[in-house]
Structure 1
Amino acid sequence: MVTTEICVFTLLDTITLQDLLNPSKTPHSELLKTVRSQPGCQSLYWGVGIQDPTKLFWFIEWDHLTSHQLFQSLPSYPSFVSTAIALTNPSSPSPLTVLHYNLPTPLSHFPKSQKPYLEYFSLPTLPSSSTSLSETFESLQTAFSTFSPEGIPSTYSFAIDEGSENICLSLIGWKDKEQHAAFLKTDAFVNAEPKMREVAAGPPVAIHVDLQEWE
């Protein structure tokens, strides 16, 4: 099963998207190249937050979790991590988070015809609430399938990392911000929102990602 590793960086305030794209400004491009060259890395998508451009997202799809673990076991891995950490803001409460998910529909399976206005939604949940939350997300996915003629691609899963199993992630490929805003007014969302609040163990993280190199 494909395992998606999601890395969320809080960048230094001085680093912009153009800096990330420019190899002479930051080592970001070289970091991506290193990950993509690893055995078992099937794809890597990345982008920055639209509402908060200090947030950098990596969506790495491994053929299996063991492939990522093999990368982590390499002698060169500590240097790779140090280089990545150097991009982050050390004063942030969360300079870098890394979690793994077995997403039923990996990001690489989203339609390639148009770059999605990707919503990243993460919610820490109460223990033993996975069944209830899964039912809520299933109802939303049903609503997505009929909201527009082409449907709205989406996926969700709970983290598989020890100690983080109650963190639920959803990725939703909106056409644009107007489509997302319109869906927030539907009965499906109005009914789902309080159900998500009931099982929340903390505030959600909801941000749209400006994906780069989408193809």
Structure 2
Amino acid sequence: MPSPVTECATITLKPGIDLGTSGTDSAQAWNETLATVAKQAGYQRSYWGRQLENPNIVVWLIDWESLAAHQTFMASPSYQPFAARLLPLTENVHLHHFTPSVFPPGIIASAPVIEFATFYDTKPVFVGNVRKFEGVLDQAKAKGDVDVDEYLGGVWGEDVRSRRSEEKEGLSADLLPPVIEDIAKNGASEGKGRAIRLCLGWTSKEAHMKFRETQLFKDNIALLREGVGSAEVHHVAFKTV
């Protein structure tokens, strides 16, 4: 049975593009883009939002029943008109896929703000470290620790497709890439490697920044600094389509 995946589209908009004002050409084009994808076979749901740090960058997450479902759409006659409608709004679009550890990744839709972290050029040890870090937060939350009273839960990327194929070859699941494609920071074509996506829900961006000052964070952040080349962290308030 195929594994569901989440497509991640990072879209850099042209200056002045307004997606939120009803009746504008750009908002109409964006709404048509969302509607076109929602009609495709294998589509399940999607969420989008602007980076709070850089509102000119949109992050669009699309849940598909399988990687093949998205690939089928990309090979279909309807894809070129879809792309032609979207691309005039953009300066750059970068696509990749990951399989969340919890599917569907409900925290994306329910949390007011998502801490959206991507770790690049990761080593095998980093997979276990991400599990441990999220586990520390979850356990502290369950105990009523005030340091995480505004933490709402999380999900991280895991490539089940590769897990199945590589386990057949005798490789440990802890060696597997959590993002399906090799990617590099800022979507660069050079320096690509295995990446991990970590999405943590917070009541606000300020709540996350406040947590970074706690002893709990300071005692455990080393987990996210071992076995990783570089990282990007930003915040997104996602809307469900």
2:25 counterpart of 1:24: yes
CA distance in 1, matches of 2:9, 2:142: 28
- Counterpart selection for 1:122 from 111, 118, 122: 118
- Is residue 14–residue 90 contact of structure 2 (8 Å, CA) maintained in 1? yes
* Structure with larger Rg: 2
CA distance in 2, matches of 1:154, 1:144: 12
- Is residue 42–residue 64 contact of structure 2 (8 Å, CA) maintained in 1? yes
The equivalent residue for 1:183 is 211
Which whole-Å deviations, capped at 9, do the CAs of 1:67-110 have from their partners, x for residues lacking one? 11111110221332233232222xxxxx2211111102246523
TM-score, normalised via structure 1 length: 0.82
TM-superposed deviation, 1:197: 2.5
Q: Choose 144-153 or 21-30, whichever is displaced more.
A: 144-153
The equivalent residue for 2:42 is 40
- Is residue 46–residue 240 contact of structure 2 (8 Å, CA) maintained in 1? no
TM-superposed deviation, 1:57: 1.0
- Is residue 18–residue 26 contact of structure 2 (8 Å, CA) maintained in 1? no
- Is residue 50–residue 209 contact of structure 1 (8 Å, CA) maintained in 2? yes
Which whole-Å deviations, capped at 9, do the CAs of 1:98-155 have from their partners, x for residues lacking one? 111110224652386x652122111113333334433334334434544456862200
Secondary structure at the residue paired with 2:95? strand
Structure 2: gaps (5+ residues)? 158-177, 184-191
1:134-173 correspondence to structure 2 within 5 Å: 134=130, 135-146=132-143, 147=145, 148=148, 152-157=152-157, 158-162=178-182, 166-173=194-201
Which whole-Å deviations, capped at 9, do the CAs of 1:1-27 have from their partners, x for residues lacking one? 3211111111111113425x5453341
CA distance in 1, matches of 2:240, 2:127: 36
The equivalent residue for 1:77 is 79
The equivalent residue for 2:232 is 205
Q: Which amino acid aligns with 1:160?
A: I
Q: Which amino acid aligns with 2:180?
A: I
Q: Choose 178-187 or 126-135, whichever is displaced more.
A: 126-135
Which whole-Å deviations, capped at 9, do the CAs of 1:137-177 have from their partners, x for residues lacking one? 43344345444568622001120125666211111110123
Number of equivalences:
206
Q: Which amino acid aligns with 1:205?
A: E
CA distance in 2, matches of 1:136, 1:107: 21
Secondary structure at the residue paired with 1:129? helix
The equivalent residue for 1:100 is 97
TM-score, normalised via structure 2 length: 0.74
Q: Which amino acid aligns with 1:28?
A: W
| Identical-residue share of aligned pairs (%) | 24
CA distance in 2, matches of 1:162, 1:115: 28
The equivalent residue for 1:88 is 90
- Aligned CA-pair RMSD: 2.7
Q: Choose 193-202 or 62-71, whichever is displaced more.
A: 193-202
CA distance in 1, matches of 2:205, 2:182: 35
Q: Could you say if the C-alpha distance between residues 115 and 162 of structure 1 is closer, same or farther in structure 2, counting changes exceeding 3 Å?
A: closer
Q: Which amino acid aligns with 2:120?
A: P
More helix by share: 2
Secondary structure at the residue paired with 2:94? strand
The equivalent residue for 1:66 is 68
Q: Could you say if the C-alpha distance between residues 25 and 16 of structure 1 is closer, same or farther in structure 2, counting changes exceeding 3 Å?
A: closer
